[in-house]
């Protein structure tokens, strides 16, 4: 995370991505990188189209970097979904100069689901928003870590 932080341009928002097999949840931060807001869910098609949508959001919002949720297994090991996320990041890095970082997303979907249940969100609405709400949890965790690094070097 320190290496990622060092590569970030000042006063540029970040995006958090929750890469699922069928969707990509997208959240964005403010320019001060203090608050993550769920934005949108991209329906996955093929890499080139998915990447184009991510990079379009990055360009429109003048983003300074991307955080990808890394779906570790509960025991901390990396399974096929981690490898898939790393492959997506490698391929995306060939198309953009934006720094790409990772954040442990193990409990982001659980936290998002709990928050939506507490808000009494309908099952249909939860299904529509869960991915970008989870992306918000991923991004907020990374923003909090970046703020901590900024204060403590």
Q: Which CATH number characterizes residue 111's domain?
A: 3.30.420.140
DSSP string of 5-71, one letter each residue: HHHPPTT--EEEEEE-SSEEEEEEE-TTS--EEEEEEEEP--HHHHHHHHHHHHHHTT--EEEEEE-
- pLDDT tens digits along 14-56: 999 999 999 999 999 999 999 999 999 999 999 999 999 999 9
- Domains: count for the chain: 1
Q: What pTM did the predictor assign? A: 0.93
**pLDDT band, very low/low/confident/very high, at 153 (cuts 50, 70, 90):** low
Residues of the domain holding 15: 1-151
């Amino acid at each position: 995370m320190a290496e990622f932080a060092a590569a970030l341009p000042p006063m540029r928002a970040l995006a958090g991505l929750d890469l699922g097999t069928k969707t990509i949840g997208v959240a964005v931060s403010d320019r001060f990188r203090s608050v993550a807001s769920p934005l949108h869910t991209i329906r996955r098609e093929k890499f080139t189209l998915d990447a184009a949508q991510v990079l379009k959001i990055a360009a429109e919002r003048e983003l300074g970097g991307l955080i990808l949720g890394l779906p570790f297994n509960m025991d901390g090991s990396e399974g096929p979904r981690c490898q898939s996320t790393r492959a997506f990041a490698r391929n995306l890095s060939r198309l953009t100069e934006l720094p790409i970082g990772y954040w442990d997303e193990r409990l982001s979907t659980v936290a998002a689901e709990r928050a939506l249940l507490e808000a009494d969100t309908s099952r249909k609405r939860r299904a529509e928003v869960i991915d970008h709400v989870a992306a918000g949890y991923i991004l907020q965790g990374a923003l909090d870590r970046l703020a901590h690094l900024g204060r403590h070097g």
